[in-house]
Amino acid sequence: MTQQITSTGLDEVVKKSPRKWVYLFNEGNATMRNLLGGKGAGVAEMTNAGLPVPPGFTITTEACNAYYDSNKQFPTGMWEQALAALKVVEQRTGKGFGDKNNPLLVSVRSGARFSMPGMMDTVLNLGINDETVQGLVALTGDERFAYDAYRRFIQMFSKIVLDTDPRDFEHVLDVYKERAHVATDAEIPAAELKQLVVEFKQIAERQSGEPFPTDVHEQLRKAIEAVFSSWNNKRARDYRNFNKIAHSLGTAVNVQTMVFGNMGSDSGTGVAFTRDPSTGEKELYGEYLLNAQGEDVVAGIRTPSKISRLKDDLPHVYEQFKEIAKRLEQHYRDMQDLEFTVEKGKLYMLQTRSAKRNAQAAVKVAVDMVAEGLISKEEAVKRVEPSQVYQLLLPRFDENEKKKASQEGRLLAKGLNASPGAAAGKAIFDADTAEELGKAGTSVVLVRPETSPDDVHGMLVARGILTARGGATSHAAVVARGLGLPCVAGTEGIRVSESEKLFRVVDSDFVLREGDDISIDGATGEVFAGIIKTVEPDFNKEVDLKTLLGWADKFRKLGVWANADYPRDAQRAVTYGAEGIGLCRTEHMFMEQERLPIVQKMILSTSQQERQAALDQLLPFQRSDFKGVFEAMVNPETGEGYPVVIRLIDPPLHEFLPSYEELLVEVTRLETEGGHDEELQEKRKLLEAVGSMREANPMLGLRGCRLGLLYPEINIMQTRAILEAVAELEQAGKKLHPKIMIPLVGHVNELKEVRRQLEAVAEDIDKQQGRTIEHKFGTMIELPRAALTADQIATVADFFSFGTNDLTQTTFGFSRDDAEAKFLLRYVEGLEEPGLKDKVKILPVNPFQTLDRDGVGQLIRMAAENGRKANPDIELGICGEHGGDPDSIELCQEIGLDYVSCSPFRVPVARIAAAQAALTHGEKDK
Ligand code: ADP
Ligand code: MG
Ligand code: MG
């Protein structure tokens, strides 16, 4: 029975302090995360729910910040409040801190607002010294236990507070195990442990150069300081930089009565998830160890048992734990990640938090919880990260092939799963070779000891990245995730030799050399020799995902369209839920083998007749291209077509011709060899033509609508092909909604003139057909001037589609082709500055990936508003990479666009992101 004890002692001390720095667990709750940290809020909530939590108190995150603000001094009153709270804990437990007859031991645990796994520190068994250990022995009658607790304390305190090298302790522990002829630390006899404690203290004193603190209050003070300091260690700073967590949040410190899992075989410690975090299956998932303490389970000291075995080992503890797990899930209405300890058959809860889960589990848990009546559909939609939806639809390795590879011993190592997806190809050990081969179309996996900005050009063309060193926030991991590339990082099981261009597998004599086949799984961290077949996930089999996306569709306000150039892309887009095509590029069609010679003839023609003849040849090709795309976008049941936006020719014409440099080499070769007069003449003509088209800045050159104004025949042919395709399909009973998009307009007169020419074509076709064929003309807004004069342009456009790739390029003046490799990724990653702790970030994100709110976003907002004012019927959408980026989608929702258009693979991502944007907005508006 716990006595009813008030916290008056603490209240009095608080009254004399400038602020309340310390909360007993029963004074907090789940809503106080900011102040108490995630762990503190969790134990407080559990305490108040009546669950068995060892008593303790939390020192607030504000105290941590105040500590830093006052040059690493505890803020006024904090220590006194901690001592008063400790008094309450002493009363509740009936033990005394430093009492040599009945000692209270505590843990000192860090706990920030956001969980930062493994980043900060915890000290266990604090309050032990040569005197109190005797009390422990007397109380428990268990010498082995008491000295095991003592040696653990010295070990942890030394590592975390005194900052000494933990390996010396581990080494001595191994020596003792060997000497006692035992396999595990739990079996070392008491007499040996006693000796070990003496030796541990000596190591600690030698390493730290000061006597090991025997005063329990000094131990406590130092441990609290160490937790505050761990907030600012390099690991923690890097982690926060990567996860965009503010450095100013601070960590709380939890001081909690120790309960002991190392008191024999009816004691133990464990961790468990309320559901399986990799499948979402509704069953306890976790591990425990008997006669063990703290993080022995995760540290791999002994092999832990599956949580289901606890049913046999400690049946009533298992039942109680299952019950508590269920209660906590109901209470938090989310899957929990739990830590517990059993002391002599009694269960204690030490932590609860919302569980990290992979993509599959996230979707299944969300959908299941709706069915269980635990959460609403809105909540389910809000809970799944768009990136998790994306992951579910990435190509993966064929599971059978992977199993086979493992059985054949081809699984070489396992590193960190730094960026999801599967990649297979040739192992290449330097960025230059990777770039060369990658550009030539070879599948390359770039393997490096670790990567640096000098490797980015190779990373850009690689299928995947493998590194031997570096964590989830290493350069390789950050860049790979940014590029959407699979990455396995920190693979300690391999040694990469740059100079020999190979890696060796540490625990075998396997060597993998440059050019050898390799496969990496960025979702699991596995590295295989040889090529493993990948499979496209089957969207139709993802039943839970489809359910979730169905709900998302009900909540979202933005339309979701896709960018698709070919019928097969269009089909995929429809399968994934697209409601239209926002961008169909026509230039790819020009590149196809049987057409390219005709296109070249058209470009090189010297007279208009010649050009027209070539275009006449191209027309039937284009017509059937467009027919294919339109057909793929027709609902087979209703015959009604989704809207399709076709963009007229956009790139500069020289892109369809051989490169100037190649031709020059060719001509020189023919000249020196002699005897190829005819060929030489032809090549010279071509070289001259290509030379005359060369531009210093082709991106800003003769392209887009400028081409159409100089060579109207091309646009006219394309428009004719589009409308004739529509006419043919409509004759077959279908109803279509074609939209023709004129790119790169900067001045309203450009659009006016092109539109005038093309309306004439439409009229002509209407006349031929004897009826009106629906069509719309619009433009891309992709130049700042177009955005600035959107009110003028809107008077001649039926729709705007924001071409945000070019708009970003031209607004920033960043070349899309070069900026990322040359400097842009470094802007985002941060520049090293001597004398500064953190890298200096110039840009928060890559603006080609996430719309730049303040600049480009501002232009879009203005153009949308002014466009609508001038033409209330104008339809507004966005195409380009940003259309599938969740943050950009949120901005599009705020601006009030009608739809986003993205690559077919990202359509499901956009559906969920658009729903989330609508839901958060709805709430904000309320
Ligand atoms: P982390 O944030 O790294 O998970 P914790 O503060 O949760 O660190 O502590 C790690 C482990 O130490 C816990 O999972 C638990 O096993 C053990 N531990 C912490 N406090 C206590 C305590 N009061 N009694 C027994 N074990 C504890
Ligand atoms: Mg923990
Ligand atoms: Mg463009």
Write the pLDDT tens digit of every residue in 627-660. 999 999 999 899 999 999 999 999 988 888 888 9
* Lowest mean per-residue pLDDT among 43-57, 449-463, 756-770, 878-892: 449-463
Side-chain half-sphere exposure of 806, counting CA atoms within 13 A: 24
DSSP structural state of residue 541: G
Q: How far is the CA of 484 from the centre of ligand 3 (A)?
A: 22
869: left (phi over 0), alpha (psi -120 to 50) or beta: alpha
> Which residues neighbour 315 within 8 Å (Cβ) at sequence distance 6 or greater?
none
Cα separation, 882 vs 902, whole angstroms = 7
Given pLDDT bands bounded at 50, 70 and 90, which one contains residue 359?
Answer: confident
Using most ligand atoms within 8 A of CB, pick from 97, 122, 227, 298 the residue to mutate for ligand 1: 122
pLDDT on residue 838 = 80
Q: How far is the CA of 652 from the centre of ligand 1 (A)?
A: 63
What is the full DSSP assignment across 104-132? E-EEEEEEESS--TTTS-EEEEET--TTH
**771: buried, middle or exposed (CB in 10 Å: 19+, 13-18, 0-12)?**
exposed
Single-letter amino acid, residue 505: V
Cα separation, 147 vs 157, whole angstroms = 15
Q: What angle do CA 262, 260, 218 make, to 5 degrees?
A: 115
CB 715 within 8 A of CB 758: yes
Catalogue the active-site residues.
475, 879
Given pLDDT bands bounded at 50, 70 and 90, which one contains residue 1?
Answer: very low
> Which residues neighbour 698 within 8 Å (Cβ) at sequence distance 6 or greater?
652, 654
pLDDT on residue 6 = 57
| Helices 143-160, 132-140: inter-axial angle, 10-degree rounding | 140
Pick the closest to residue 413 from 350, 535, 507, 320 (CA basis). Answer: 507
pLDDT on residue 925 = 44
Write the pLDDT tens digit of every residue in 71-86. 999 999 999 999 999 9
Distances in Å between the Cα of 159 and the Cα atoms of 124, 304, 613 are 12, 24, 81
Q: Which-ligand-closest: CA of 110?
A: 1
What is the full DSSP assignment across 199-251? HHHHHHHHHHSSPPP--HHHHHHHHHHHHHHHTTSHHHHHHHHHHT--TTS-E
Question: Do the strands 96-97 and 444-448 form a parallel or antiparallel pair, or are they unpaired?
Answer: unpaired
The protein residue with its alpha carbon nearest to ligand 1, atom 9, reads 122
Cα separation, 176 vs 203, whole angstroms = 15
Distances in Å between the Cα of 748 and the Cα atoms of 495, 612, 744, 789, 795 are 61, 28, 11, 8, 9
Write the pLDDT tens digit of every residue in 471-521. 766 778 867 876 778 999 989 899 999 999 999 999 888 999 999 999 999
Q: Is the pLDDT of residue 926 over 70?
A: no
Cα separation, 629 vs 902, whole angstroms = 16
Using most ligand atoms within 8 A of CB, pick from 58, 108, 109 the residue to mutate for ligand 1: 109
Single-letter amino acid, residue 80: E
Cα separation, 111 vs 114, whole angstroms = 8
The protein residue with its alpha carbon nearest to ligand 1, atom 18, reads 294
CB 910 within 8 A of CB 889: yes
pTM of the model: 0.85
C-beta neighbour count of 712 within 10 angstroms: 16
Write the pLDDT tens digit of every residue in 385-436. 998 998 888 888 988 899 999 999 999 999 988 888 899 999 999 999 999 9
Question: Do the strands 559-563 and 534-535 form a parallel or antiparallel pair, or are they unpaired?
Answer: unpaired
Rounded-to-5 percentages of helix, strand, coil across the chain: 50, 15, 30
Q: How far is the CA of 493 from the centre of ligand 1 (A)?
A: 29
Residue scoring higher pLDDT (4 or 57): 57
